[in-house]
């Protein structure tokens, strides 16, 4: 378990550095502006320390999620393992530790860190394309929604649209991993 969390933390740090570097390079060279309002100062200035502190907090939080979820993965209902998307749309909850939610919450808390890695890889790719071609992956969506939304609402909408496929993919990967560990334990017990 510690090995998996260490691999996750290493990937998170590497992808965060890639995101930081590509963002900083694009902004410094006038090729792009920061879209995230949490790390943007005014119209376009980049608050790098905010980005670093937010990512440290995120890494600690998601590593804790991963640790707890790995310890509780055997409590996920077979129903949600066979239909991971239903675990996402079933019911929103605030307490993942309650008996009512334990049938699905470890699956969510396994999928969330993986989704973060996918989102970071997307950000790096978008930044790199913006540096090379002058437009990243999110710009067409921003241009489409900008006349109707603005500020933080625009950021939340664009991020939600971009993250949704990563979230669904992460749920299916997490469910597959949990099913695989169940199959492995059943086979080992039969021997």
d(CA 91, CA 133): 42
- Residue 65 pLDDT more than 90? yes
pLDDT level of residue 134 (50, 70, 90 thresholds): confident
d(CA 98, CA 64): 17
Bigger pLDDT: 117 or 137? 117
Residue 85 pLDDT: 83
- Residue 64 pLDDT more than 90? yes
d(CA 134, CA 127): 9
Residue 38 pLDDT: 66
Residue 55 pLDDT: 93
Q: What is the mean pLDDT of residues 141-169?
A: 89
Q: At what angle do helices 2-28 and 105-133 cross, to 10 degrees?
A: 30
| Domain assignment of residue 101, given as a range | 2-190
Size (the chain), residues: 191
Residue 45 pLDDT: 60
Query: Can you give the pTM of this predicted structure?
Result: 0.85
Residue 185 pLDDT: 53
d(CA 133, CA 123): 15
Q: What is the domain count for the chain?
A: 1
Residue 42 pLDDT: 61
Cβ atoms of 63 and 8 within 8 Å: the answer is yes
Structure confidence by residue, pLDDT tens digits, 9-57: 999 999 999 998 988 888 777 777 776 766 666 655 667 788 889 999 9
Would you state the structure tokens that stand for residue 21, as one six-digit string? 């570097």
Structure confidence by residue, pLDDT tens digits, 80-129: 899 888 777 766 777 788 888 888 889 999 999 999 999 999 999 998 98
- What Cα–Cα distance (Å) separates residue 155 from each residue in 20, 43, 52, 60, 103? 18, 14, 19, 24, 32
- What Cα–Cα distance (Å) separates residue 179 from each residue in 82, 86, 125? 8, 16, 31
Q: 53, 35, 42, 37: which is closest to 123 by C-alpha? A: 35
Residue 143 pLDDT: 85
Q: 113, 6, 114: which is closest to 65 by C-alpha? A: 113
179's CB contacts (< 8 A; 6+ apart) are 81
Q: What is the mean pLDDT of residues 61-81?
A: 92
């Amino acid at each position: 378990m510690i090995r998996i969390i260490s691999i996750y933390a290493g990937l998170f740090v590497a992808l965060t550095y890639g995101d930081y570097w590509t963002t900083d390079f694009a902004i410094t060279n006038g090729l792009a502006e920061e879209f995230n309002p949490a790390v943007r100062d005014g119209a376009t200035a980049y608050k790098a320390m905010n980005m670093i502190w937010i990512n440290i907090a995120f890494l600690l939080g998601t590593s804790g999620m991963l640790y707890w979820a790995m310890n509780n993965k055997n409590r996920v209902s077979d129903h949600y393992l066979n239909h991971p998307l239903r675990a996402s749309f079933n019911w929103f909850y605030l307490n993942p530790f309650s008996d009512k939610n334990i049938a699905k919450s470890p699956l969510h808390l396994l999928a969330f860190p993986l989704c973060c890695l996918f989102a970071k890889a997307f950000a790096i790719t978008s930044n790199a394309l913006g540096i090379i071609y002058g437009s990243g992956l999110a710009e067409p969506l921003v241009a489409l929604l900008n006349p109707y939304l603005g500020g933080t609402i625009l950021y939340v909408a664009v991020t939600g649209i971009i993250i949704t496929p990563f979230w669904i993919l992460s749920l299916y990967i997490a469910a597959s991993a949990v099913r695989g560990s169940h199959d492995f334990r059943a086979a080992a017990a039969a021997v």
